[in-house]
């Protein structure tokens, strides 16, 4: 049987970031799934090379599977960006010096960077306006100077943006990402706790879940939390710590499915293992703390995730 020291060395090697997961955005080539099945593959290789059968006695098992929503259940970044830009046009939001003569517009590259650094819509806008100057708009002719007016501006923009986003989701053109529904059904059938934890507003997430996973699956969730339910947004771990408490399971027995480094940080700070199903806008992030990475969940089974969690314990 492999010694605990060799398992630790193997763990350290496996968590090295892959060259394709750099912060550079120059590479647009798709990332192969084989690069991110190294963890279980190495353990399978270790089993074959050992003279004795490799067995693991662990004190934890997968009891709860927790999904993020945006980027995991649906690829939503471009939809949110479209809704924000529509809100900026609707309220004629002008933010000098970048948009003195036309409404503010967040481009794809900028929004990818913004949404991967700051969770939640209101914090995004507050950060942007604080950095670049508060805007004029049809809400306030001159840039708001006191905090109460700034809160009103952000609240108004966010409320309108949320309604616009709902219209997009209701259009019937949006589908869940591959493998999500099957994996949810496998978890429920196996008696696992199932949860969705999103930094987005509750009304927005509810609409997404009702339209993309269906009412039966949504009502069958053992826990559902949105950004409204916690004081601090991801990467703060509050939402995942709250979920574990509501589910009645230990953090080490939870496995989180995320798509961004912000979500990964929230999960690991909560003491939970995390797998990444990255999108085109998050593929170049540093996911060294994830226990596995996939381009989507189409080939991922519940048994794979259970094995991953056991291997993490064996390597620790």
| pTM of the full structure | 0.69
Residue 40 token pair: 């279980």
Q: Are strands 273-277 and 193-197 parallel, antiparallel or unpaired?
A: unpaired
Least confident of 27-31, 147-151, 161-165, 264-268: 27-31
Cα 205 from Cα 211, distance rounded (Å): 10
Q: What is the pLDDT of residue 60?
A: 59
Catalytic one of 68, 222, 236, 259: 68
Model confidence pLDDT, tens digit, residues 53-81? 333 334 558 999 999 999 999 998 899 99
**Helix residue ranges per DSSP H, 133-171:** 147-170
Is 70 catalytic? The answer is: yes
pLDDT tier for residue 88 given thresholds of 50, 70 and 90 = very high
Classify each residue of 135-170 as buried b or exposed e, where b means 16 or more C-beta atoms within 10 Å of its C-beta.
bbbebbeebbeeeeebeebbebbbebbbebbbebbe
Structural contact between residues 275 and 257, judged by C-beta atoms closer than 8 angstroms: yes
Q: What percent of the chain has pLDDT over 70?
A: 80
Contacts of 296 (CB under 8 A, 6+ apart): 177, 178, 179, 277
What is the rounded average pLDDT of the residues 281-299?
95
Q: Does position 142 have pLDDT exceeding 60, yes or no?
A: yes
């Amino acid at each position: 049987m492999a010694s605990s020291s060799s398992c630790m060395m193997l763990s350290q090697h496996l968590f090295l970031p892959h060259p394709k997961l750099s912060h550079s955005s120059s590479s647009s080539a798709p990332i192969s799934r084989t690069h991110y099945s190294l963890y279980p593959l190495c353990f399978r290789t270790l089993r074959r090379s050992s003279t004795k059968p490799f067995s693991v006695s662990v004190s934890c098992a997968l009891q709860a599977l927790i999904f993020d929503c945006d980027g995991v259940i649906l690829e939503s970044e471009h939809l949110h960006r479209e809704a924000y830009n529509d809100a900026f046009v609707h309220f004629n939001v002008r933010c000098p010096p970048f948009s003195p003569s036309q409404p503010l517009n967040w481009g794809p590259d900028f929004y990818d960077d913004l949404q991967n650094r700051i969770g939640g819509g209101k914090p995004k806008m507050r950060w942007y306006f604080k950095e670049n100057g508060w805007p004029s708009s049809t809400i306030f002719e001159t840039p708001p100077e006191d905090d109460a007016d700034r809160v009103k501006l952000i609240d108004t923009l966010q409320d309108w943006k949320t309604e616009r986003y709902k219209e997009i989701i209701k259009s019937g053109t949006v589908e869940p990402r591959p493998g999500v529904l099957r994996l949810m059904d496998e978890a429920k059938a196996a008696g696992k706790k199932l949860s969705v934890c999103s930094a987005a507003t509750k009304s927005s997430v509810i609409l997404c879940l009702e339209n993309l996973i269906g009412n039966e699956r949504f009502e069958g969730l053992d826990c559902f939390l949105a950004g409204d339910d916690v004081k601090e947004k991801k990467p703060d771990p509050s939402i995942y710590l709250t979920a574990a408490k509501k589910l009645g399971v230990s953090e080490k027995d939870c496995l989180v499915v995320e798509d961004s480094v912000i979500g990964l940080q929230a999960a690991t700070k909560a003491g939970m293992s995390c797998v990444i199903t990255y999108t085109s806008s998050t593929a170049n992030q540093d996911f060294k703390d994830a226990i596995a990475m996939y381009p989507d969940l189409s080939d991922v089974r519940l048994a794979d995730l259970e094995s991953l969690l056991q291997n993490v314990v064996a390597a620790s």
